[in-house]
Structure 1
Amino acid sequence: MKGAAMFYSRDKVEQLRQRYPEGTRICLDSMENDPRPIPSGTKGTVITVDDAGQLFMKWDNGCSLSLIPGEDRFHVIQPEENLSEEMQETENPSEELEMHMSM
């Protein structure tokens, strides 16, 4: 039965909720079965997982289209990735400051 895979058992939905809790950062790899897909590479934040197992998202580009695990391709952005991006932005100014202070 086509489309039945979009609806999960209560146990599977609970697993999805534990795997993707509110606030989880996601990067979309591809969304091929939507007439107006979110562009690949777009990042967003999980708002909640509904009873059908869809991830309600707040995308960084302002969209709110949900993800369907098993149909859409995406990956979790690890907190270290976010931290390393922030560190790259702040490391250079502090290195310059240290150089000036040692002179």
Structure 2
Amino acid sequence: MKTKRDFKAGDRVRLIEMGDDPDPIPAGTTGTVAGVYSQRDWLQLDVDWDNGRSLMLSIPPDRVERLSGGTSESNSSS
């Protein structure tokens, strides 16, 4: 499971999957983490998406990868 230290405000991320939202952000969309909130057994990321939307992720079930220096690290539910 991912913890708060896996993400921080200012991190750049790319969405892999957001399956449960009625109006999801499209997979592949990039954005900037605005806030990180650890819950009991899941993580909530507040993301300002590059397409102009602002929508939180719940990990799990949402899946995102953190971008860093032209490479990416997968940070998803497993």
**Superposed pair shares fold, TM > 0.5:** yes
Larger Rg: 1
User: Stretches of 4+ moved more than 6 A in 1?
Assistant: none
In structure 2, list runs of 5 or more residues that go unmatched: 72-78
User: After superposition, what is the alpha-carbon deviation per residue over 1:33-71, rounded to whole angstroms, capped at 9, x for unaligned?
Assistant: 000000000001111112533100100001111011110
The residue aligned with 1:81 is 70
Task: Return the offset for 1:73.
Answer: 1.2
In structure 1, list runs of 5 or more residues that go unmatched: 1-11, 83-103
Of all paired residues, the percent bearing the same amino acid is: 38
Q: Paired residues, what number? A: 68
Find the residue that maps to 1:77 and give its secondary structure. Answer: strand
Q: TM-score, normalised by structure 1?
A: 0.59
The structure richer in strand per residue is 2
The structure richer in helix per residue is 1
Find the residue that maps to 1:18 and give its secondary structure. Answer: helix
CA distance in 2, matches of 1:27, 1:46: 10
Q: TM-score, normalised by structure 2?
A: 0.77
> Superposition RMSD on alpha carbons, in Å?
1.8
